[in-house]
Structure 1
Amino acid sequence: MWYLLGDVGGTNLRLAAIDETGAFGTRESLPTAGVADLPETCAAFVAGMGSPPKAIAIAAAGVVKEGRVTFTNAAKHVSTTQLAKACQVPAENVLLLNDFEAAAWSLAKIEPGEVTYLQGGPDPQPGARVIMGPGTGLGVGALVWQKGHPSAVPGEGGHLRLTPHSAEEVAYFEALIADWPEVQMGNGLAVEAEAILSGTGVPRWYRAIAKARGEEAPVENASAIFDAAQAGKDANACRAIASFTRYLGGIAGDLGLIFGARGGVFITGGVAQANPWIFDEAFLAAFNAGGRHSDWRRALPVGLCQDPDFGLKGARNCLFTRLD
């Protein structure tokens, strides 16, 4: 007896087989852009296993509605019915989750060594927990307890508002909106948080800063921009990543306050995991800058989750809870 798990992000698609104890077995990883048909890909994985799984849980970067998900950063969609047919599994045994709903489920049990705490530490009592992750996009999820049982709260927190934090940044936001008008929220200078706090947004934010300053922007992609900032080789890369760090810390603290996250606020995702150096004093200062509630925010544990399997583990935790 085995179960099929999937984690479909904006960049990578991961599939894994687990047994009835939850232990991982066969795995496969593919670029999301190269996957033309998710049910077909899952069916090929199942064929390699030699028998259909008992149940399936797929975490996907997109809004899940009525057993169907449309991927946020790709013109693709999939349904539980399609997956059930392709993998020879009853439709009632197929579960689709938003990727950060699954990420939230990964917090139901945090293994020692999976989290580096930047502030505080594990809470011995179950308490609300928030997870956010800058990757291809920006995901947000939360885990709360009801009568002693965990329950995930999915949402699209990556699309909340960011606005300039200084007079200098006004011109940067104006340049970003001129280059990418669809991320503007309302008629002012607010943009979706994902427009800056993601691997997709960082290059545009960097170019907007350079354009506003009348300077060149020679660094081309998010990874190179982070590297240039860490090395101090490009002034606008330094400005872009310094503001990225402040914005990320501020939003993380806001979300911790909103959910009353006594169980901790956790940062993950490809961008965060590749650049742990940004989680410095400036990040924590922004996290804890809560005005009259600064002391409240300083009491919240803050952790960097380095486990690359958080999406798969969350899908597993949710699936087993539903089956129980």
Structure 2
Amino acid sequence: MGMKPAPLNRPLVVADIGGTNGRFALASTDTHTGGIRLDGIQRYACREFPSLAVMLGAYLETLGQDDRPSEAHLALAGPVRATGGRITNLDWTIDAESVERDTGLGTVSFLNDFAALAHAVPWLGDSESMVIREGRSEKGAPISVVGPGTGFGVAILMPTNGNWTVVPTEGGHIGFSPSDDREQALVSFLQPDAVHVSVELLMSGRGLTRIYRFLSREATGSVVELSAADISAAAEAGTDPLAVETVHMFLDILARTAGDMALAHGARGGVMIGGGILPKLAHFIDRDRFAKLFSEKGPVTDYLTPIPVRLITTDAAALIGAALASPA
């Protein structure tokens, strides 16, 4: 890791757009370091805009006329093709032609948000991630890139001919498999409102809320609603034992899920965890417990035991990845 990418041909707008927020920047090659330079970073609440084109237009207005590029490469949280896509947790269906027309940009293209994150992984320095689980990365093996945010993102980083190929997936929508009676009770609690109980239903901001609702009913007989931000704050302050329990249950499920993804991907090269939630909860991680739950898979425990797990701590990774993956 920490390699130097090929230089960009010209500056372009990049973005990381989830179901809650959109982050934009002007990307160019840093002439001193050879890495990606991000300028003019702005964050917008998606709910304040009727469409992606309007939000992108608002960002372009912040750039001086001399800085305004002709191209944009945007990472979206959902199924994507180069000419358009859909943000899973927003009612936005997007196509490049209409965004180009509405913003005046010459070329607009898209990629999945966790694909963007995966594109950045080979270029991240050690200071831009932290160890969750020590291990030994197997040279020439795939790397899983997963993580909770508005949804649960999953991508695979495949080594190919001395370079890397990113395989975007919708792995967050696979079915959640409970590991004990309590998690089975959690599934039963969710099923009246969810025909398909997916990993993403629990491994996301709303997932924290769902787990808290379940635990509150279990403890008091009544369902208590609390936002993910309030749960995190209460757990941090130590003022709500249910919030602390929610975070620990969330992290246990994440550890098992990360191990499942590593098995599915053959990720002997390692697992990188990203997304907007885990950096805020990092100090709650019990590394020994995480390692145990990650690799405890019966007859294939030994397969997972050497695999390292790291948490991406820089919030610029998806923006950098969008720049690196741009067709410009």
TM-score grouping bracket, smaller chain normalisation: 0.7 to 0.9
In the other structure, the counterpart of 1:49 is 64
In the other structure, the counterpart of 2:153 is 139
Q: Secondary structure at the match of 1:62?
A: coil
CA contact 2:78–2:87 (8 Å) conserved in 1 = yes
Letter in 2 for 1:200: R
Post-superposition CA distance 1:227-255 (Å, at most 9, x none): 44456654543443332112110110111
Q: Following TM superposition, by how much is the alpha carbon of 1:26 offset from its aligned partner in structure 2, in angstroms?
A: 1.6
Compared CA separation, residues 167 and 28, structure 1 to 2 (3 A): closer
Post-superposition CA distance 1:172-191 (Å, at most 9, x none): 3212222x22xx33xxxxx1
In the other structure, the counterpart of 2:306 is 299
How do residues 212-251 of structure 1 correspond to structure 2 at under 5 angstroms? 212-218=218-224, 220-229=226-235, 233-251=239-257
Larger mean CA deviation between 253-262 and 149-158 belongs to 253-262
In the other structure, the counterpart of 2:260 is 254
Letter in 1 for 2:22: L
Q: Structure 2 unaligned runs (5+)?
A: 1-9, 31-35
Q: Following TM superposition, by how much is the alpha carbon of 1:305 offset from its aligned partner in structure 2, in angstroms?
A: 0.8
In the other structure, the counterpart of 2:50 is 36
Q: Secondary structure at the match of 1:150?
A: strand
Post-superposition CA distance 1:259-283 (Å, at most 9, x none): 2223220112121011102321222
Q: From 17, 21, 25, give the equivalent of 1:8.
A: 17
Q: Following TM superposition, by how much is the alpha carbon of 1:59 offset from its aligned partner in structure 2, in angstroms?
A: 0.1
Q: Following TM superposition, by how much is the alpha carbon of 1:126 offset from its aligned partner in structure 2, in angstroms?
A: 5.0
Letter in 2 for 1:73: N
Q: Following TM superposition, by how much is the alpha carbon of 1:56 offset from its aligned partner in structure 2, in angstroms?
A: 1.5
Could you state the TM-score of these two structures normalised by the residue count of structure 2? 0.86
Determine whether 1:312 maps to 2:319.
yes
Compared CA separation, residues 237 and 142, structure 1 to 2 (3 A): same
In the other structure, the counterpart of 2:190 is 176
Compared CA separation, residues 236 and 50, structure 1 to 2 (3 A): same
Q: Following TM superposition, by how much is the alpha carbon of 1:89 offset from its aligned partner in structure 2, in angstroms?
A: 3.6
Q: Secondary structure at the match of 1:261?
A: coil
Post-superposition CA distance 1:166-205 (Å, at most 9, x none): 2233333212222x22xx33xxxxx111111111122122
Higher relative contact order (CA 8 A, sep 6+): 2
| Distance in 1 separating the partners of 2:40 and 2:228 | 31
CA contact 1:253–1:288 (8 Å) conserved in 2 = yes
Could you state the TM-score of these two structures normalised by the residue count of structure 1? 0.87
How do residues 282-297 of structure 1 correspond to structure 2 at under 5 angstroms? 282-297=289-304
Letter in 2 for 1:30: Y
Post-superposition CA distance 1:9-35 (Å, at most 9, x none): 122111100224431122211111112
| Distance in 2 separating the partners of 1:153 and 1:29 | 27
Q: Structure 1 unaligned runs (5+)?
A: 186-190
| Distance in 2 separating the partners of 1:5 and 1:147 | 27
| Distance in 1 separating the partners of 2:232 and 2:28 | 39
Q: From 60, 64, 72, give the equivalent of 2:88.
A: 72
Q: From 64, 74, 80, give the equivalent of 1:58.
A: 74
| Distance in 2 separating the partners of 1:224 and 1:304 | 23
In the other structure, the counterpart of 1:188 is none
Q: Following TM superposition, by how much is the alpha carbon of 1:156 offset from its aligned partner in structure 2, in angstroms?
A: 1.0
Letter in 2 for 1:263: G
Post-superposition CA distance 1:94-126 (Å, at most 9, x none): 320111111111113121201111223684845
In the other structure, the counterpart of 1:19 is 28
CA contact 1:63–1:69 (8 Å) conserved in 2 = yes
| Distance in 1 separating the partners of 2:38 and 2:264 | 35
| Distance in 2 separating the partners of 1:124 and 1:296 | 12
Determine whether 1:83 maps to 2:99.
yes
| Distance in 1 separating the partners of 2:141 and 2:103 | 37
Letter in 1 for 2:16: D
What RMSD over aligned residues (CA atoms) do the two structures have, in Å? 2.3
Letter in 2 for 1:152: V
| Distance in 1 separating the partners of 2:241 and 2:60 | 50
Q: Following TM superposition, by how much is the alpha carbon of 1:308 offset from its aligned partner in structure 2, in angstroms?
A: 0.6
| Distance in 1 separating the partners of 2:57 and 2:29 | 20
In the other structure, the counterpart of 1:112 is 126
| Distance in 1 separating the partners of 2:182 and 2:42 | 46
CA contact 2:135–2:308 (8 Å) conserved in 1 = yes
Compared CA separation, residues 126 and 46, structure 1 to 2 (3 A): farther
Compared CA separation, residues 285 and 33, structure 1 to 2 (3 A): same
Q: Secondary structure at the match of 1:139?
A: strand
Identity %: 28
In the other structure, the counterpart of 2:33 is none
Determine whether 1:266 maps to 2:275.
no
